[in-house]
Chains A and B, each alone.
Chain A
Amino acid sequence: MHELSIAQSIVELALHEADKNKADTVTEVDVNVGEVMQVDPEILRKALGALMTGPRLAGAQVRVRLEPAYFSCRKCGSEWDMVEAKKQLSQVPDSLLIREPDSKELPLHFLPDLCAAFIRCPACGSSDFSAVRGDDVRVMRVVLE
């Protein structure tokens, strides 16, 4: 469900850039999807395909790339990936999972900035860490004509 909303925002951003740069059409859009959000790139790609219609968007090439998540502890210097993070995220209580119409999702699916509320450094237990990459959806490039 959230994939559709993300796709709508990407389309708005592409059109916003086209307007800002006085371009007629959008020909390419490159999107990075952070692994933390557990967004399905294929669903996002399909949603974008369905939304990118009309004279300014139809035919645009869309690339959606899954960006692996990577965390680094500011306290002890340890680094870890999503495999480790998922072990901890599996412990998030059911009462906090977002109720989607046909599924339940982690809060990070919508609010990836909440990592430190649900994940701790596997080495020292600190919440003082940063997501070095793979923590959000970003439009990396829009090509206009």
Chain B
Amino acid sequence: MSIRPVASLNDLQAQVRLRRVRRVILVGSGKGGVGKSFVACGLALGMAKRGFRTAILDVDVHGASVPNYLELQPPVHSSKSGLEPKKTAGLKAMSVALFTGDDPVPLGGDEKQELIVKLFALTNWGPLDYLVVDLPPSTGDELRSVLRLFGQKATLVLVTTPSPRALSVVSRLRRLAESEKLSVAGVVLNMAHYERGKKKTFPFGKPDAELVHRLLNSAVIAQIPLDPRVNSESLSDVLRGRTKMSSAFDSLIESLTANLGR
């Protein structure tokens, strides 16, 4: 019999790679400017530091910023096992920006979906305890690819500022997660407060766990303070010290590993 295959080469290869990944943590918001990439990178670095085999996949095709936070540059190397992820502080990373540098990536829907499948399928991740996926602001093509790729192995971490205006936008992604039967691990309130000396301020309003629960139907699992040092120092260095920010990431990792299994 003559068959025209329905599955693509990359879909099958992705399934093979995924067999060696224990859990996939999607870091998303459905809203821009709340610090998804920052939280995703901090989470991934922290997990790698604790000895978990961890990688981060940046699927924000148009606004890839994982290489910025992790201080990674092109070029990518390849081997007989595929594209080699960049490595830093025990963490593996892959992003479209490692192929395009600072050039824009003006791709349409189908191209983006295919690109994301290939980025995952062609990368030689090796065995992983956790794959952290940095989602783009939208709830469009990239998210569709990710849900199709990672299915039941994925859980979602919602990132938002405490602002009620932000929460109402993020609630759209929460509702999409419900309809897609995607589990939600909890909510990270980023830029929750700012401390200078003994003075604590709340640039995006005082966090209101009850409001978060009402709008997002999920518990707050970490509150990450603003720390201006992330603009001038590497994220890895900022998280290395014993600071309020590194403690907040520790709480996040404790909560997630307890929830997802170590």
Contact = CB atoms under 8 A, between A and B. Distances in A.
Interface of A: 1-2, 4-6, 9-10, 12-13, 16-17, 21, 23, 28, 93, 95-101, 105, 107, 110-111, 113-118, 127-128, 130, 136-145
B5 A5 contact: no
B86 to A, nearest CB: 12
B107 A113 contact: yes
B77 interface: yes
B7 interface: yes
Given A23-B1, A143-B2, 9 more contacts: A5-B81, A17-B3, A21-B1, A107-B99, A111-B115, A117-B103, A118-B103, A142-B3, A144-B3
Interface in B100-117: 100-101, 103-108, 111-112, 114-115
A95 B74 contact: yes
Contacts, number: 120
Nearest to A145: B1
B78 A99 contact: yes
Interface in B193-249: none
Most A CB atoms within 10 A — which of B7, B9, B74, B76?
Answer: B9
A111 to B, nearest CB: 6
A5 B122 contact: yes
Most B CB atoms within 10 A — which of A107, A116, A117, A130?
Answer: A117
B79 interface: yes
A113 B99 contact: no
B74 to A, nearest CB: 5
Given A96-B100, A116-B105, A10 B74 contact: no
B78 A111 contact: no
A145 B96 CA distance: 41
B82 interface: yes
Interface string B1-39: 111110111101100100000000000000000000000
B103 to A, nearest CB: 6
B75 A114 contact: no
Given A23-B1, A96-B101, A111-B115, A13 B78 contact: no
Given A1-B78, A9-B13, A98-B75, A16 B100 contact: no
Given A13-B7, A23-B1, A110-B122, A5 B104 contact: no
Nearest to A74: B108
Contacts of A16: 5, 7, 12
A12 B118 contact: no
B9 A137 contact: yes
Nearest to A103: B78
B80 interface: yes
Given A12-B16, A96-B99, A137-B9, A113 B111 contact: yes
Contacts of B10: 9
B119 A2 contact: no
A139 to B, nearest CB: 5
Most B CB atoms within 10 A — which of A6, A9, A136, A139?
Answer: A9
Contacts of B101: 93, 95-96
B99 A143 contact: no
B83 interface: yes
Nearest to B111: A113
A41 B79 CA distance: 20
Contacts of A100: 77-78
Given A96-B99, A107-B100, A114-B115, A12 B78 contact: no
